[in-house]
Structure 1
Amino acid sequence: MIAVNDRSTTSRNHPSIWDKEHFSITIGSILAFTIIAFQGLALATIAPVLAEDIGGRNLYGWIFSAFLLPQIVGTVYAGREVDRHSPARVFLIHLVFFTLGCIVAGAAPSISWLFLGRAIQGFGAGGIASCVYAVVSSAYEDKLRPAILAATSAAWVVPSLIGPAIAGFVAEQWSWRWAFFGLIPILLAIAPLTLPSYARIKPHNLTAKADRRLQLAIVLAIATGLFLAGLEIRPWIAGAAVAAMGLGGLITTLTRLLPEGTFTARPVMPAAILARGLGLGGFAVVETYLIFSLKDFGGVSATRVGLILTVTSILWTVGSWLQSRWDRATGPAHRPRRLATGFALVFAAALGIFLCVAILQEIWLWAGLVGWGIAGIGIGLAYPTAVSIAFVNAPAGMEGKVSSSMILIDLFAFSIGVGLGGVLLAFAESTGRSTELGAALAMSLGVAMLALAVVAGLRTRHLPVTSPSPSG
């Protein structure tokens, strides 16, 4: 993509994500991310209830994996198509899939039907996110992107604050099924807000031929499934063999799906994509096992653990707002510094928590609040900045591919990081080591990923001082 027609003179002179030209795209994009965030957080709350109701406690993890694997395919498919067709068409297709998935999952009479609904949802969600990111690259000029990225980051805060509570209340008072059905009115509201504006965005690559990215995405989903399944297989030797096979397929396929030079942090765009993926993955790993440690041997209640997550979500939004203000004041030239600074903050916080668990064999509520609060600000500074750097260096007509690449590496780093962390924890406990040591080993993986994210962030310093003129 992409060109936006009929821009007003007023918008050119005083552009804003809230002006007449961008208002409906901004609201629709925020709602799209909000609905994806809400369903994920809500499902985490109601999953034990629905597993008990329709069976499937022995397949509990696959309630989430059934969403993840088709999400990979939907992400790549939408990223390819949005460079060749109107984003309105691509967005509508995936919005319909997501809505259909909500209906099937909500009406599921058995766990197999729930898996089907979650799979349809995942395909739709992957495409929605990929499409929105491509539109952000195309419909907003470079100096507006930090602001719209801060706004979409804020879209995760409200669901994190009220999503689990609402889902739990609905499940207790009525049925867990309404956690799916209740999303449908919001999905119907998103369409009129986004589609007219998305229809004005024209793709550059109308004559581009389809490539093999979709087939590779399917292989990637299968490899991811093998990896996740291998982590659950016993005995360990058989599980390790299956997981290693899946991991090999993952890495091989990703090297062909991601921009060339991503895994070597080639400046500038590939390095920004790698930094974002490693940073988010490392953040997720440390957060996952911080929560585990607080509840398991830290003596912290679930309610207080939830307080840490809430504070972190709010501070993530604060960090996103700060990066927008910072960008407005200094321009593109300071983005690499902001990227490295943000991930350095997350790394420092994660290292402190890791050392606390590894050396002192203890973790406290205040350490989680302070440490992970700092991490929240850091990830808020770095995560949207990586997107801005990647988009300003994306070749014209490749916005969809770059968007899907960023989401893919996020999914890869998150699932592999958390999965391997679980293996390290289980290995420590099965060999007679303490739970504290196992949690520290799992966290060490996240700390290492964050260190590499800082290094990759520093590799974006070749970013030009003046950004290219907007394609719109």
Structure 2
Amino acid sequence: MGSAVALCGGVVLHAINIYIATTILPSVVKDIGGLAFYAWNTTLFVVASIMGSALSGRLLRLAGPRGAYLVATLIFMLGSLMCALAPSMPLLLLGRTIQGFGGGFLFALSYTLIHLVFHESLWPRAMALVSAMWGVATLIGPAVGGIFAELNVWRYAFGMLVPVGLMFVLLVWHVMPARQATVKPVSPLPMPQLLLLAGAALVVSAGSLSSRGAINLGGFVVAVLMLLLLLRQESRSPVRLLPRGSLSPSSPLFGLYLTMSLLMMGIGCEIFIPYFLQTLHGQTPLAAGYITAAVAAGWTAAEVWSASWHARGARFAIIAGPVLMAIGLLMLLFHLPDASNGGSPLLIGIVCGLALIGFGIGFGWPHLLTHILLSAESIDQDTAGASITTVQSFAAAMGAALAGTIANLAGLNVPGGVAGASHAAFWLLLLSILAPLMAIVTAVRASSSVAVQTAAVKIHQ
């Protein structure tokens, strides 16, 4: 029980920080500038999370569950302190990077330890339990960020994460085992794959700083080339970032990972929602934070509802999820870009659209993650657990980078203001719909493997 609480606590700490940062970022930009770097706060944070997620298995083997959580939390606290003291956007971005590295450890350790703490039959419920902690974060994060932002003391929102981290350290020290029951040898790191993965997202973000389409396109082309090199390296290297067979179109893992990635890339527009709400609809930071949190609320509700489904229910959830997400983005497209004074009809449409986006992702999410673990070979269980957050984080980073590119090209920074925000919101939402539409195709393929694996689990049990 104590270990389960710690697993959930690590996700809560990581998730609360995300919602705090999302809520206060418009206030941060007003104070220290750097609107052109708006998306970089998320991209750098998530790219660093990729590195932390991928290294979590190695840290777990070297330090054990207790030591791994302690190291991850201390790194996270250091980044939070740097963000609180940052006098300029470059230093804030450095703090966000360190935060992301520690947060990536925390997030990945929670998923990696699920197959050690819980019985296999409880994995879907355990996935839902850990993921449901995002629901807790939606209640706390926007409130903390919004209140401090409205009081014009946004730095304290980051600073309070330090004492909270200290309390989590005490919890981990008392409840987590010092060592695993069975310690596997430390494997080499897939460093070339990690660097290519992180580099692809950073190249797209770097291109987004320019208002010239040719430079943006060039960054995207370089990123695609880096991903092709990554696939080549992964297929030939004995040291893997993903479980065996993940890159083969005939493997169940291929469709599962691709569906995950498309869903996460489609939600990249979320990082700009608080800014659009404050700029176009006159919302306060607190209100904007809670409206944006409708995504996480819908995600959590859908996961809790569908986590116990099997066979046909799981297949239906995986296929229906992208459809619901596309409908939610379409609702936002018709309501968010139009400037208003906070009129109820528009806000109701925005809240419903955001909640439906989250519901669409969460509907099949526990089944996608569970069947990644089930599809991986036994010797790849640690790799599979860490890969969940690696792939999720990379897709989120790429989604944020592409969102920043589209927003800047559409006029977010130049001409800026209400006109720029309205134009940016329209094109960002319109193009974001492409991701769930493609995910419908991959989800149909992924769901066919779910039926076979569910039957196999029942026979095994």
Q: TM-score, with normalisation over the residues of structure 2?
A: 0.79
Q: Is the 8 A contact 2:209 2:408 kept in 1?
A: no
Alignment deviations for residues 91-137 of structure 1 (CA, whole Å, 9 cap, x no partner): 32222211222223323354444333222211111111111110012
2:297 alignment partner AA: I
Alignment deviations for residues 413-449 of structure 1 (CA, whole Å, 9 cap, x no partner): 223334435545666679xx99486356423323334
1:228 aligns with 2:205: yes
Q: Is the 8 A contact 1:268 1:393 kept in 2?
A: yes
CA distance in 2 between counterparts of 1:232 and 1:312 reads 27
Q: Is the 8 A contact 1:271 1:459 kept in 2?
A: no
Q: Is the 8 A contact 1:73 1:214 kept in 2?
A: no
CA distance in 2 between counterparts of 1:127 and 1:40 reads 15
Which residue of structure 1 aligns with residue 42 of structure 2? 64
1:376 aligns with 2:320: no
Pick aligned residue for 2:402 from 399, 405, 420: 420
CA distance in 1 between counterparts of 2:437 and 2:403 reads 12
1:323 aligns with 2:311: no
Task: Report the CA distance between 1:204 and its aligned residue.
Answer: 5.0
Distance 1:271 1:181, change over 3 A: same
Task: Report the CA distance between 1:347 and its aligned residue.
Answer: 4.0
CA distance in 1 between counterparts of 2:301 and 2:428 reads 29
Distance 1:364 1:340, change over 3 A: same
Distance 1:123 1:374, change over 3 A: closer
Deviates more, 1:125-134 or 1:103-112: 103-112
Which residue of structure 2 aligns with residue 7 of structure 1? none
| Local SS of the residue matching 1:146 | helix
Deviates more, 1:150-159 or 1:29-38: 150-159
Q: Is the 8 A contact 1:293 1:439 kept in 2?
A: no
Q: Which runs of 5 or more residues in structure 1 are unaligned? A: 1-22
Q: Is the 8 A contact 1:227 1:242 kept in 2?
A: yes
1:463 aligns with 2:453: yes
Distance 1:372 1:130, change over 3 A: same
| Local SS of the residue matching 1:460 | helix
Which residue of structure 1 aligns with residue 237 of structure 2? none
Q: Which runs of 5 or more residues in structure 2 are unaligned? A: 235-240, 415-419
Query: Superposition pairs for residues 11-26 of structure 1, below 5 Å?
Result: 23-26=1-4
CA distance in 1 between counterparts of 2:395 and 2:97 reads 20
Distance 1:120 1:457, change over 3 A: same
Which residue of structure 1 aligns with residue 242 of structure 2? 258
Q: Is the 8 A contact 2:55 2:105 kept in 1?
A: yes
Which residue of structure 2 aligns with residue 102 of structure 1? 80
Task: Report the CA distance between 1:198 and its aligned residue.
Answer: 4.1
Which residue of structure 2 aligns with residue 346 of structure 1? 325
Task: Report the CA distance between 1:30 and its aligned residue.
Answer: 1.6
CA distance in 2 between counterparts of 1:293 and 1:100 reads 30
Identity of aligned residues (%): 24
Distance 1:425 1:40, change over 3 A: closer
CA distance in 2 between counterparts of 1:378 and 1:51 reads 31
Which residue of structure 2 aligns with residue 43 of structure 1? 21
Which residue of structure 1 aligns with residue 370 of structure 2? 388
2:302 alignment partner AA: G
Task: Report the CA distance between 1:229 and its aligned residue.
Answer: 0.5
Distance 1:85 1:123, change over 3 A: same
Q: TM-score, with normalisation over the residues of structure 1?
A: 0.78
CA distance in 1 between counterparts of 2:328 and 2:148 reads 36
Q: Is the 8 A contact 2:373 2:381 kept in 1?
A: yes
CA distance in 2 between counterparts of 1:295 and 1:53 reads 15
Distance 1:116 1:449, change over 3 A: same
Q: Is the 8 A contact 1:220 1:253 kept in 2?
A: yes
Alignment deviations for residues 192-232 of structure 1 (CA, whole Å, 9 cap, x no partner): 433543435334532x5314x13431333233212211122
Task: Report the CA distance between 1:306 and its aligned residue.
Answer: 5.4
CA distance in 2 between counterparts of 1:364 and 1:127 reads 39
Q: Give the paired residue count.
A: 437
1:201 aligns with 2:175: no
Distance 1:364 1:439, change over 3 A: farther
Pick aligned residue for 1:239 from 200, 216, 240: 216
CA distance in 2 between counterparts of 1:173 and 1:107 reads 17
Deviates more, 1:303-312 or 1:380-389: 303-312
1:217 aligns with 2:201: no
1:279 alignment partner AA: L
CA distance in 2 between counterparts of 1:307 and 1:113 reads 27
Which residue of structure 1 aligns with residue 121 of structure 2? 143
| Local SS of the residue matching 1:398 | helix
Which residue of structure 2 aligns with residue 19 of structure 1? none
Distance 1:28 1:313, change over 3 A: same
The structure where helix makes up a greater share of residues is 2
| Local SS of the residue matching 1:199 | coil
CA RMSD in angstroms, aligned pairs only? 3.9
CA distance in 1 between counterparts of 2:139 and 2:326 reads 25
CA distance in 2 between counterparts of 1:113 and 1:290 reads 24
Distance 1:84 1:457, change over 3 A: farther
Q: Is the 8 A contact 1:81 1:400 kept in 2?
A: no
| Local SS of the residue matching 1:221 | helix
2:371 alignment partner AA: I
1:144 alignment partner AA: L
Q: Is the 8 A contact 2:295 2:355 kept in 1?
A: yes
1:274 aligns with 2:258: yes
Task: Report the CA distance between 1:49 and its aligned residue.
Answer: 3.9
Q: Is the 8 A contact 2:213 2:409 kept in 1?
A: no
| Local SS of the residue matching 2:386 | helix
Q: Is the 8 A contact 1:279 1:449 kept in 2?
A: no
1:443 aligns with 2:425: no
Q: Is the 8 A contact 1:157 1:317 kept in 2?
A: yes
Alignment deviations for residues 371-428 of structure 1 (CA, whole Å, 9 cap, x no partner): 4434433322211221111123333343332133222222232233344355456666
Q: Is the 8 A contact 1:67 1:121 kept in 2?
A: yes
Q: Is the 8 A contact 2:198 2:394 kept in 1?
A: no
Which residue of structure 1 aligns with residue 417 of structure 2? none
Q: Is the 8 A contact 1:91 1:128 kept in 2?
A: yes
CA distance in 1 between counterparts of 2:82 and 2:324 reads 42
2:296 alignment partner AA: S
Task: Report the CA distance between 1:34 and its aligned residue.
Answer: 1.2
